[in-house]
Amino acid sequence: MPRKKAFILIIAAVITAVLFCACTKAAEQISSLSQLREKGTVIAVSTNTPESKQIIKDFPDAVIESYTDIYPAYQEVASGKITAVISQRTGMQKAIENGVSGVRLLEENYRENVIAVGLSRKSDIPDLKRKINKFLQELRDDGTLDDMYERWVMQKDYTMPDIPEAEAPKQTLTVATTGTAEPFTFYVGNELSGYDIELAKRFAAWLGARLEFKVYDWGGLLSATQAGDADCIMSNLYYEPEYEETTDFSDPLFTLEITAMVRDKGYGAKTDPFWQSLRSSFRRTFITEKRWRLFVSGIGTTLLITGMSILLGTLLGFAVFTACRKGNRTANAVTRFSVWLVQGMPAVVLLMLLYYVVFGSVKIPGVAVAIIGFTLICGASVYERMKAGVSAVDIGQTEAAYSLGYTERQAFYKVVLPQAMPFIIPPFKGDITALLKGTSVVGYIAVQDLTKMADIVRSRTYEAFFPLIAVAVIYLILEVLFNFIVDRLEPAFYPKRRDPDDILKGVQQK
Amino acid sequence: MIELVHLEKKYENSTPLKDVSTIINDGDVISVIGPSGTGKSTLLRCINMLERPTGGQILLDGVDITAPGYDVTQARRRMGMVFQSFNLFGHLTVIENLMAAPVDILGRTKQEAYETGVELLKRVGLEGREFRYPDQLSGGQKQRVAIARTLAMDPEIILLDEPTSALDPAMVGEVQSVIRDLAGSGKTMMIVTHEMSFARAICNRVFFMDQGGIYEDGTPDQIFDSPERELTRRFVRKLRVLELFIENAKYDYISADKEIDIYCLKNNIPARTKYRIRLTMEEIVQQLLLPQGDILPVRILVEYSGEEEKTTVTISYSGAGFDPADGENKLAYDTLKKTVADISYKYDSEAELPNSVTVLI
């Protein structure tokens, strides 16, 4: 007990020291972009944005940090870990209004980005580029485009107007978006909303097409249109000449101001008491806009993928093991190669290969690809576990069965397998936990699992701490749940744990 | 009836069975004995097709069970096998071990199998242990359960592969008495064993195995009391043999002495006996024979029987008849005579080395 107390004290001391260092780091107020040129400044930018490329030339002495999702960097500017974030003025403005404190935006603009719609060259919709430009021209002419910009970006009026859906649509418009760029594409509750979403709805109605959204990371957008998984990208996409090698662009929608967010030196330390800020974090993470529904749907997806993969993977592993058991040379060679292939590469690479290459030209939902991918992973490990388990059973058991007249098949199922189970189950339990955790990478193939949902929530609350802790806790609970289920099933696989009364069921004992 | 026809089992590096042909009659109780590594277990495992022979045939009542299309499970159902390491099914209780095969293979009802099982447990003296798991039993109990499991299938032939070798000496007796009981039941049995007196007591026929086959086949009295062949004799008498040759007068006495040393050490021969073997060498060979000349080559054969703690040294040599007792060095002869039990001389003009002196130590 005293040792435990001492341990907690040490941890507390370390945390305090880190916070103290972070807070007392000297910094002068930055009021112009030129001040960022000094050596030692740290600048955060969004990956693959035009500014991220220009910045390297303009600020050669600065350390540039690239973020896939920029919002966690805001807090780090406030704490002084990062000198500045260079990003869209509107997005950062919105973050400050939503509660990011201790930061401010510079007056001057760093540059302006042209925003357009990205278009797939493999789209099923003929003449897509001409159509969207015609549509945009109509919208520009009747003032709708300006009105949309005014409402979403300037007024922050987040009411989605009622746009009638196409009646009896003959085609589908698949729109790739990120859902993490307020006010253009973001989640209200578990519904997508924003400027780009409205635009997509209007375009689908104009085309007379059914509308379908697919949510990707920033990095996944271009691969999606390139592979033909989506017809177009509506996600506050910057026009970049180099993207034109693989993707077409519509006429510009509007231009965005890019500026820097820096630490506001005049702002004092947060005065919120700990519990109060925790409560407000909880409210913003779960209650506001019914965000708990995002978590619930994320848990559902994670459970679906994990559960199905375990089920199908176990069947697959068992089937493959049975096929290879008698030592057919070809079957064994094929299996060894496949197992090597599946186990040798990171799960995320396997998933992306399946999604973009193997099923690249087939319309198949990401969840199905995730289940296929993890079924392969689970199957490979079940196969290996069975191989190890079965070889751990003494050969004498098989010989004894043979000598009694059992066939090879009977000997395996009645004598060897039941005795191999105690060697298979414990490592299999570990595999299940690993699989559950492993599914957290499915966000890469546009599946919105628990981890991805936490990302989405973080992009709205501008908070890293609470949603991450929540997700960690949920994963731990799910692990306990899976282990509980396996524990319930376990006695069925341990013949020695049977109820002694069941052993001679149906026999009249003397 | 089992007929072995030119049976051969070859592994990559060894051939334990070169050419085995014999007939095993119904009701035969056969002990298979012989030095280790001579294919005793391999023979049993081939008969049960746990090892597939690489040549020859096994005819079970005239049917070749080694034939390619033959369903070996049919043959195995008629033969029971008892293993050295018991091989009880570890995940099943004692009674389930006995019930499994009759239910799964013979299609008996559980009730029938249970009743037979209880009966058999009583027969091997293990009533009341039905619900123990194998790892809760002693070695002797496990082997008795294994025998009962074999009997539950009511086999015509029972093969026992060193059934008591893995047991504590204290448990050997209980298993042997079960086997003895079985031997009297009229079933055909083959038992590989190292327990000579036990083998002799229960069987009506003995296979002595060596040199890749059945080296000598006979009744227990023949094999144990008056074996016809040399290797059998050495084996049943538990003879440990050392053979030395002297081909010229300047032979290496030191290294011969060393060989005797190693031989005595290996076979746990008492120091007193070792001293006498040396003395025999010294007095007969060095003092009496070598000065005589014209007796080369000389063969020295030392035989030590662990069973009877008896040692004989036989020295054979060529040349005209010469009894060392008539040699010039009387003192040497008398010194030896006083120390050992007996010295005898024989002259056989037919033999390759006609003179032979046998010293009983």
pLDDT digits (tens, 9 = 90+) for B283-341: 888 888 888 878 888 899 999 887 777 899 999 998 888 888 888 888 888 988 888 88
pLDDT digits (tens, 9 = 90+) for B189-247: 999 998 888 999 999 999 999 999 999 999 999 999 899 998 998 888 888 889 888 88
The verdict on A144 and A217 lying in the same domain is yes
Q: Is residue A280 part of a domain?
A: no
What gap in Å lies between CA A103 and CA A263, rounded to an integer?
A: 4
How many beta-carbon contacts under 8 Å exist across A and B? 83
pLDDT of residue B95: 95
DSSP states of B20-89 as a string? EEEEE-TT-EEEEE-STTSSHHHHHHHHTTSS--SEEEEEETTEETTSTT--HHHHHHTEEEE-TT----
Region A292-309: mean pLDDT is 93
Residues 6+ apart with CB under 8 A from A134: none
pLDDT of residue A1: 47
Higher pLDDT, A60 or A314: A314
- Among the residue ranges A208-217, A403-412, B19-28, B248-257, the one predicted with the least confidence is B248-257
pLDDT digits (tens, 9 = 90+) for A50-77: 888 888 888 888 888 888 778 888 888 8
What gap in Å lies between CA A260 and CA A267, rounded to an integer?
A: 17
Question: Is the reported ipTM for this assembly greater than 0.85?
Answer: no
**Where are chain B's structural domains?**
2-229, 239-360
The verdict on A429 and A327 lying in the same domain is yes
pLDDT digits (tens, 9 = 90+) for A82-107: 889 999 888 888 888 877 888 889 98
Longest Cα–Cα distance of chain A, Å, equals 98
pLDDT digits (tens, 9 = 90+) for A151-184: 888 777 888 888 888 888 888 999 999 988 888 9
The verdict on A248 and A306 lying in the same domain is no
Q: pTM above 0.90?
A: no
- Pairwise CB contact (< 8 Å): B87 & A405: no
- Among the residue ranges A301-310, A421-430, A499-508, B119-128, the one predicted with the least confidence is A499-508
- Pairwise CB contact (< 8 Å): A509 & B114: yes
Handedness of CA B63, B68, B72, B74 (dihedral sign): negative
The superfamily in CATH containing domain B2-229 is: P-loop containing nucleotide triphosphate hydrolases (3.40.50.300)
The verdict on A304 and A246 lying in the same domain is no
Higher pLDDT, A266 or A284: A284
Nearest CA to A370 out of A306, A296, A434 is that of: A306
- Among the residue ranges A314-328, A420-434, A460-474, the one predicted with the least confidence is A460-474
Contacts of B133 in chain A (CB under 8 A): 496
Name every residue in B having a CB less than 8 A away from some CB of A.
48, 50, 73-74, 76-77, 79-81, 83, 85, 87-93, 95-96, 100-101, 104-105, 110-111, 114-115, 118, 131, 133, 146, 149-150, 153
- Half-sphere CA count of A400, side-chain side, radius 13 A: 27
What gap in Å lies between CA A229 and CA B356, rounded to an integer?
A: 102
Q: What are phi and psi of A264, to 5 degrees?
A: -90, 105
The verdict on A490 and A405 lying in the same domain is yes
pLDDT of residue B310: 84
Region B171-183: mean pLDDT is 92
Region A336-362: mean pLDDT is 90
Which pairs from B72-77 meet CB under 8 Å and 24+ separation? B73/A402, B73/A405, B73/A406, B73/A407, B74/A405, B75/B48, B75/B49, B76/A402, B76/A403, B76/A404, B76/A405, B76/B48, B76/B49, B77/A404, B77/A405, B77/B105, B77/B106, B77/B153, B77/B155
In this model, does residue A22 exceed pLDDT 60?
no
The verdict on A175 and A125 lying in the same domain is yes
pLDDT of residue B90: 94
Region A296-324: mean pLDDT is 94
Last residue of a domain, one of A255, A282, A302: A255
In this model, does residue A424 exceed pLDDT 90?
yes
Name the token pair of A113. 């980005």
In this model, does residue B265 exceed pLDDT 80?
yes
Tell me which DSSP letter residue B305 carries: E
Tally of domains in chain A = 2
Contacts of A500 in chain B (CB under 8 A): 131
Name the token pair of B82. 């008892």
Contacts of A401 in chain B (CB under 8 A): 89
Read off the amino acid at residue A37.
Answer: R
A346: containing domain = 292-502
Q: Which of A402, A419, A496 sits opposite B76 (nearest CB)?
A: A402
Q: How many CB atoms lie within 10 A of CB A116?
A: 22
pLDDT digits (tens, 9 = 90+) for A324-346: 888 778 888 999 999 999 999 99
Residue showing tokens 């003959």:
A170
Tell me how close the Cα of B128 comes to any Cα of chain A, in angstroms.
11
Region A114-127: mean pLDDT is 90
In this model, does residue A272 exceed pLDDT 70?
no
Which pairs from A484-490 meet CB under 8 Å and 24+ separation? A486/A425, A486/A428, A486/A429, A486/A432, A490/A425
Nearest CA to A349 out of A425, A433, A438 is that of: A438
Last residue of a domain, one of A255, A270, A304: A255
Q: Which of B83, B111, B131 sits opposite A400 (nearest CB)?
A: B83
- Half-sphere CA count of A134, side-chain side, radius 13 A: 7
What gap in Å lies between CA A393 and CA A508, rounded to an integer?
A: 33
In this model, does residue B46 exceed pLDDT 70?
yes
CATH number of B239-360: 3.30.565.10
Which residues share a beta bridge with B242? B302
The verdict on A312 and A181 lying in the same domain is no
In this prediction, residue B143 has a pLDDT band, given cuts at 50, 70 and 90, of: very high
Higher pLDDT, B155 or A122: B155
DSSP states of A23-58 as a string? HH---PPP-SGGGGGSTT-EEEEETT-HHHHHHHHH
What gap in Å lies between CA A412 and CA B307, rounded to an integer?
A: 47
Tell me which DSSP letter residue B244 carries: E
Name the token pair of A463. 């908070």
pLDDT of residue B285: 87
pLDDT of residue A25: 45
Q: Distances from the Cα of B79 to the Cαs of A209, A465, B63, B124, B209, in angstroms?
A: 77, 72, 14, 19, 22
CATH code at position A179: 3.40.190.10
